[in-house]
Amino acid sequence: MQDMCIIPRPSETTLKEGFFQGRSLPPVTGDVRFSNETAIFRAQMNDAFERADNMRMRSESAAQSIVCAHGTGFADEGYGLIITEREARIEASGPKGCYRGLQTLRQLLAASLADSEGREFRIPCAEIRDEPRFPWRGFMLDCSRTFFSAAFVKKQIDLISMYGMNTFHWHLTDDQGWRLPVKGWPKLTEIGAWRTDYHVSAEPDHIVGGFYTEEEIREVVAYAAARHIEVIPEIDLPGHASAILAAHPELGCTGGPYAVEDRYGIFPDVLCAGTDKIFDFAAAVFDALGDLFPSRFVHIGGDEVRFERWKECPRCSLRMKEFGLGKPEELQAWITMRLANMLHERGKTAIGWDEVLHETEKLGLPENLIVMSWTGTEGGFEAARRGHRVVMTPMTDGCYLNFKPLDSQEEPGRLDITTVKQSYAFDPAPPVMTAEQAALVEGGQCNFWSEGIDSGRIAEYLVYPRLCAVAESLWTRPERKNFESFKGRLRAHRKMLDLLNVCHYRGPLE
């Protein structure tokens, strides 16, 4: 039996006789507890219908209707969707489930609308019952290497919500730019947010960059929250710190001079482990994050730290002696401990890339620190063996969407190849994990690093449809996954993405 064109594939789908169809969208009604969800759904569908020439949402009463109703026995994000010839009815225990059900209906309506070239919608009658496999289903967008507008960020949040994602990891700082306003530290945005870009122009005064205002950040966070997406900020510490050091050279080992990097790579200058000023800086940043982001989590980076400066720095040598450390690499564990404890005092939980596991035999790591495994899966296995919660996002398993989608010189992307099929095969908790380890896997995410990507349209081309493949890997249980089914459903989604003005890759999937 042919699948309905839903991504991620639902837990249970039973097709019935007949169709829910029409030439204008029926009115949407619901319990007052679901008023926010129905309002957003109306706005989303109006946006899609306005792109068609003759379709509009019908506001008067009609024989057909879309109804949201409170139900029992559903998981937090679970829902039921019953489609008859006269009604599309979403049932859920709470707003999250209601929203997920409405997004499934949004896909069906938009795909049908796109297929008919705006003449009508026609959806098979069916009964669907659905809930996600993992509680963490995320997408990371790097806005440091390339500064994307708040409007572009909100567009991506709306799209990922349609595919069942519930976490937006916002990478705000790196060597190439600082994007967060921090009270009392104006140079971070006055200096650290801008760089000379010789990739675009040979002129030395060609400056690129930008930063988000507090108002823009609050708007993005509220926009995401209304779509039941948690925004998790990342401030990369103590490495990838060129933008910080350009603004505040006193935080480095050598005192500079430093510059916001136009190059891409890993650089030797990091925050100086021998001065307490870096923790004064971190305190101000964490306070700013606490004010702007209600998320339970803050990502502190911790990846690709180089240790040359710490080996040569007299202050770092004194710090090592203070704590009886045998090598500079152990200073990173000490910094991670300090930062994680500072966040804990502010009611937040720290997340770090898997390098935070290195050289921790002497000082250890806070038990509540979450490890995000990117270099492969082994970091996640090791973190789980140590009792840490894990988010899997291995670049080796289809999660890095900045890689080329096809082995072709004509394709954009950097560093490696990841096909849609590889992204679809991703499993955050593979069978080789023990039951105890798998229980610590919160879920996974896909990442888009923006080195060498200076356009939102190219970013979208690389993200979609591989994000759809990862979304199904995070939502759908392994026994329900089927790549041939996914390929069939994706044909309808290509047209739907066109309707929604999303640039996307159209080439071979494997």
Q: Where are the beta strands (DSSP E) in 165-210?
A: 167-171, 173-174, 177-178, 194-196, 207-209
The SS3 assignment for 91 reads strand
Residues with catalytic roles: 304
List the structure tokens of 451. Answer: 């080195």
E-assigned strand segments in 304-364: 349-353
Question: How far apart, in whole angstroms, are the C-alpha atoms of residue 361 and residue 341?
Answer: 18
The rounded distance, in Å, linking the Cα atoms of 293 and 157 is 15
Number of Cβ atoms within 10 Å of the Cβ of 107: 20
Reduced to 3 states (helix: H, G, I; strand: E, B; else coil), residue 402 is coil
Written as one letter, the residue type at 63 is: A
Separation CA 224–CA 238 (nearest Å)? 28
Distance CA 260, CA 241 (A): 9
Q: Which ranges of 118-248 does DSSP label H, i.e. alpha helix?
A: 150-162, 187-190, 214-226, 242-247
Going 298 to 304 to 309 to 313, the CA torsion angle's sign is: positive
Give the three-class secondary structure for 320.
helix
Q: How far is the C-alpha of 243 from the C-alpha of 260, rounded, in Å?
A: 5
The 3-state secondary structure of 417-432, one letter per residue: ECCHHHHHCCCCCCCC
Instruction: State the Cα–Cα distance between residues 479 and 431, nearest whole angstrom.
Output: 12
Identify whether the C-beta of residue 95 lies closer than 8 Å to the C-beta of residue 228.
yes
Pairing outcome for strands 230-234 and 167-171: parallel
Tokens at residue 441, please? 């896997």
Q: Residue 231's beta-bridge partner residues?
A: 168
Q: Do strands 207-209 and 194-196 pair parallel, antiparallel, or not at all (unpaired)? A: antiparallel
